[in-house]
Structures are given as structure tokens and as C-alpha cells.
A and B are shown apart, each in its own frame.
Chain A
Amino acid sequence: GENVEQHPSTLSVQEGDSAVIKCTYSDSASNYFPWYKQELGKGPQLIIDIRSNVGEKKDQRIAVTLNKTAKHFSLHITETQPEDSAVYFCAERLDGTYKYIFGTGTRLKVLA
């Protein structure tokens, strides 16, 4: 089926703490997994992505890990800042197509 489960739906952390958002996908043949950040009233913006041949990718304070066996992938944000507050979406690209399926989103609130 075409489904991406995302947890938690809301997450509050203190500034400077880490935040972790997890997604589970259904299509074992999916090979590309992006993460998007969406601020109020704006379109989603790509923040990091990972291909299925890689287990982990880092970009400064943001990292993504992929467990193909379990069909899980996670977003890790370290040293959170108030400007990290937004809604985050995971997605998978279905194999053999350019169709992307998105999770239901996580509203992250970083408390100063």
C-alpha cells in the first residue's frame, strides 16, 4: 500500500535539546526519502534527504537515519533553536515512479 506513518504528531522540546521524528513506510522498494520543513502559510522546503543505499546522512545539526530492514527512517535535530519550530514532513518516493507519499506531519515547538 501507499502509506507513510509519522510519529509523534506534536513534539515540544527545550531549546538546546534534541528532537527525533520517526517514519515508517510501506513500499519496500522505495528508494528515496526526503524530509521537509513547513512554516505557517508557506510551502514545504526540503531540509535533508537520503537514498536507500545509505544508512545515515548529516548536515550540520540535522541528520537522517534509514533502516531498510525495518522500513523506518528518522530525522534527528540536535541543539534545537526556536527557529526550528515548524511542521516537519517525511516522504517516500515509490519505486518506478516519481510519486511521493507524505507523512501526516509533526509539529515541533522549541521552547526558549
Chain B
Amino acid sequence: DTGVSQDPRHKITKRGQNVTFRCDPISEHNRLYWYRQTLGQGPEFLTYFQNEAQLEKSRLLSDRFSAERPKGSFSTLEIQRTEQGDSAMYLCASSAGGGNTIYFGEGSWLTVV
């Protein structure tokens, strides 16, 4: 069990560019979550999947954000036309079916310049 893996760990991009983050959950975990965290704040819910189905998406999430989990294993989070306000750490987490505990990855830091 290698834990939740996120890639890249750091990304610097120019405003207006698209970025994509990848998350590999703990093996056999069927739920996968994306959170965003800014300095001095707690993780903010973005979306979660059960297998390949996206079950809930934050109403605060702009249409520029899209997440997929095509085969029910890894997931990608894409941000289109990035803005400076998108600068944050994007956290992925996973949990097992029937379990409450969510396990976080180390996060992907995004800086939009």
C-alpha cells in the first residue's frame, strides 16, 4: 500500500494556461476526492467519485474546473484558463467502500503567475 499519489507536486503556470493534475488512489479504494486548500484555510471540497461516477460537485466550482475518473482508478483534475485566484494546493484523497476514513495525498501546489 503506497498511499495516495499525486503528480505533479508543484506547477507554475502563466495566467490563461490550462493545467492538469493526476491522482492515483490507494489500491482498491473506490471513492476518490478532490479538495483545494489555500494558505491558512482548511481543505475545501471540490468533488468526489465513487468508482467512475462523479457523485457530487461543489457549487462553488467554476466551469473551468473538470474532473474525471474514467476507469474508476486514477483521476485527473483539469483547470482551464487559469487565474491567479486558482493558486492553491490541490489535494486528492481516497477511501474504501464502507469505510469513513479518507486518506490524503501530499497535494499538488499550483502557482499562477
A42 to B91 CA separation, bound complex (whole angstroms): 10
Q: Name the A residues within 8 Å of B93 (CB-CB).
A: 43
Counting contact residues on chain B (CB < 8 A from A), the size range is: 20 to 34
Task: Tell me whether A102 is interfacial, beta carbon within 8 Å.
Answer: yes
Contact of A93 among B35, B43, B91, B100 (CB under 8 A): B100
B40 and A105 within 8 A (CB):
yes
CB pair B91 A43 closer than 8 Å: yes
Interface residues in A, total, Cβ within 8 A: 25
Q: Which residues of the other chain, A, contact B102 by a CB distance below 8 angstroms?
A: 34, 46, 100
B69-101, CB under 8 A of A: which get 1 and which 0?
A: 000000000000000000000010101000011
Which B positions have Cβ atoms within 8 angstroms of A?
A: 4, 31, 33, 35, 40-45, 48, 50, 55-56, 91, 93, 95, 100-107
**Measuring CB to CB, which residues of chain A are less than 8 angstroms from any residue of chain B?**
4, 6, 32, 34, 36, 41-46, 49, 51, 89, 91, 93, 97-105
